[in-house]
Amino acid sequence: MGIKTGRAYVESLRDDRALYVNGERVKDVTQYPPYQGIINEMAAHFDRPHDPKFHSRMTYPSPLDGAPVSNSFRLTTNWDEMVERVTGETLRAAATYGLMGRLPDFMNAFVTDMAAIAQVLGRQDKAYADNAHHYWEYCRDHDICLTHTLVDPHRDYGKGLDAQGALTYVGETDSGILASGARMLSTLAPVSEEIFWPVYSTPPW
Q: Comparing C-alpha atoms, which of 159, 164, 200, 156 is closest to residue 180?
A: 164
Reply yes or no on whether the pLDDT at 205 is more than 50. Answer: no
Instruction: Give the separation between CA 194 and CA 77, rounded to whole angstroms.
Output: 28
pTM over 0.85, yes/no: yes
**HSE (CB half, 13 Å, CA atoms) of 158?**
0
Structural domain spans, the chain: 6-150+185-196
CATH number for the domain running over 6-150+185-196: 1.10.3140.10
Give the β-pairing of 59-61 and 68-70. antiparallel
Give tens-digit pLDDT for 141-162.
999 999 998 887 777 767 766 6
1-27 mean pLDDT: 93
The string of pLDDT tens digits covering residues 134-144 is 999 999 999 99
